Copies of this chain bind each other. A is one copy, B any other.
Amino acid sequence: MVNLTIALDAMGGDNGPPVTIPAAIEALAANKSLKFLVFGDQYQINPFIQNTPKSVLDRLEIIHCTQSVSMDEKPSLALRQKPESSMRLALEAVKNGEAQACVSAGNTGALITIAYYVLKMLPGISRPALVTAMPSLSGHKTYLLDLGANVDVDELTLHQFALMGSVLAEAKGTPNHTKPRVGLLNVGEEEIKGSSKIKRAAKLINDDDEINYVGYVEGNDIFTERADVVVCDGYVGNVSLKACEGIAKLVVESIKEAVGKSWVSKLLAFLALPTLKKMYKRVNPDQYNGASLLGLRGIVIKSHGNASKDGFKYAIVEAVNEIEHKVPEAIGHRIAALNERS
Contacts and interface: CB of A to CB of B under 8 A. Distances in A.
A221 B247 CA distance: 10
B242 A244 contact: no
Interface stretch (A50-58, A173-181, A276-284): A276-284
B259 A238 contact: no
A152 interface: yes
A62 interface: no
B250 A275 contact: no
B240 A137 contact: no
Copies of the polypeptide in the assembly: 2
Contacts of A236: 235-236, 239-240
Contacts of A240: 219, 236, 239-240, 243
Interface in A247-293: 247-255, 257-259, 264-265, 268, 271-272, 275-276, 278-280, 282-283
A193 B74 CA distance: 11
A246 B192 CA distance: 23
Contacts of A283: 247, 250-251, 254
A250 B268 contact: no
A253 B224 CA distance: 12
25 contacts: A74-B192, A137-B253, A137-B254, A148-B187, A151-B187, A151-B195, A186-B235, A187-B234, A187-B238, A198-B235, A218-B238, A219-B241, A219-B244, A220-B245, A223-B246, A236-B239, A239-B240, A243-B243, A254-B283, A255-B279, A258-B275, A259-B272, A264-B271, A265-B275, A268-B271
B271 A152 contact: no
Nearest to A271: B268
Given A151-B187, A247-B247, 20 more contacts: A74-B192, A136-B250, A137-B253, A185-B239, A187-B234, A187-B239, A198-B235, A219-B239, A219-B240, A219-B243, A219-B245, A219-B246, A223-B250, A232-B239, A235-B236, A243-B243, A251-B279, A254-B279, A254-B283, A268-B268
A152 B188 CA distance: 15
Given A219-B239, A246-B222, A247-B244, A268 B272 contact: yes
A194 interface: yes
A148 B283 CA distance: 26
A135 interface: yes
A302 to B, nearest CB: 15
A196 interface: yes
Contacts of A264: 271
A242 B220 contact: yes
Most central of A238, A242, A249, A257 by chain B CB within 10 Å: A242
A176 B132 CA distance: 40
